[in-house]
Amino acid sequence: MKLHRILALITRHVYLYKRSLARLMEIFYWPFLDLVVWGFITVYLMRFKGELPGVVTFFLGALILWDVLFRAQQGITISFLEEIWARNLMNLFASPLTPGEFLAATMAMSVLKVTMVSIVMALAALIFYSYNVFMIGAALVPFVVNLIVTGWTIGVFTTSLIMRFGQEAEVLAWGMVFLFQPISCVFYPLEVLPGWLQAAAWANPAAHIFEGMRAVLTGAGVPLTHLAWAAGLNVVYLAAMVAWFHYIFNVCKDKGLLVRVGE
């Protein structure tokens, strides 16, 4: 794995944002709009604070952390789609660039996106709603890291499907992550799910992070058990998805499907 090839691909994607209003809106406008909408909902719920103890505290924090997961996944899948839309996929893989280097570059891009979006949302929440996401404390760091890795896992899986099935699977780049939202327990505790869904949620790293966030905000302390579960599941899932991506890449290369992706 060569660092200069990874940096070259990162630079290529960063330049795409330099003069593209649509791409900049993805980082600055849409996350801000999400925050404004949920902020108004939170302001409304403040009227019922007596009947809904603690619930108001969770919404904006949950939204910011959910956007970390969403942007981490988007950073990988959209970077892959950019190559398809530019008809550049074959050029990349005709070069010495390896699938592992490609994934490393897209993961780095997802971290850059998450960083920018998180700064925008954290500042907006503080300025407009006096909400400080750092009230979560030191646990915020492992929460964010685990959500990024979960986003990578979903992003790598989605990218492999797009590579295998082409344009008809491109819609998954925006919809795949939302298939996991019901069992991620973003805005509600895991205990409200029916029993059979609770089992699925326990196998979802994101559910442990959001459960952990609620535990911290209610003063229950740092949820080491949830963090351990999330980290362990993330290691297993990400390793499996990277191996799956390499397998699908080799299948597509052998069958000549890479030439037809995006056509």
pLDDT of residue 132: 83
Over 60: is that where the pLDDT of 56 sits? Answer: no
* Average pLDDT of span 195-200: 90
Q: Report the predicted TM-score, pTM, of the whole model to 2 decimal places.
A: 0.90
Measured CA to CA, the distance from residue 40 to residue 252 in angstroms comes to 47
pLDDT of residue 219: 74
> Tokens representing 218?
């209610």
Q: What is the DSSP string of 19-82?
A: T-HHHHHHHTHHHHHHHHHHHHHHHHHGGGTTTSTTHHHHHHHHHHHHHHHHHHHHHHHHHHHH
pLDDT of residue 261: 65
Over 70: is that where the pLDDT of 262 sits? Answer: no
In the structure, what pLDDT confidence band is assigned to residue 233 with cuts at 50, 70 and 90? Answer: very high
Phi-psi map region of 106: left, alpha, beta (phi>0 left; psi -120 to 50 alpha): alpha
Per-residue pLDDT tens over the stretch 170-189: 888 888 999 999 999 998 88
Q: Domain containing 214: what range?
A: 3-260
> Tokens representing 113?
């996106």
Alpha-carbon Rg of the chain, whole angstroms?
A: 19
pLDDT of residue 55: 57
In the structure, what pLDDT confidence band is assigned to residue 57 with cuts at 50, 70 and 90? Answer: low
Answer whether 16's CB lies under 8 Å from 82's CB. Answer: yes
In the structure, what pLDDT confidence band is assigned to residue 52 with cuts at 50, 70 and 90? Answer: very low
Nearest to 204, CA basis, from 190, 214, 222, 192? 190
Answer whether 158's CB lies under 8 Å from 256's CB. Answer: no
The structural domain count of the chain equals 1
CA 104-107-108 angle, 5° bins: 85
Per-residue pLDDT tens over the stretch 241-260: 999 999 999 998 888 777 66
Q: What is the mean pLDDT of the chain?
A: 86
> Phi/psi of residue 123, each to 5°?
-65, -45
What is the greatest pairwise CA distance in the chain? 63
Give whichever of 29-33, 97-101, 224-228, 231-235 has the largest mean pLDDT.
Answer: 231-235
CA 109-184-136 angle, 5° bins: 75
Per-residue pLDDT tens over the stretch 129-140: 777 888 887 888
Stronger pLDDT, 167 or 152, i.e. the higher one: 152
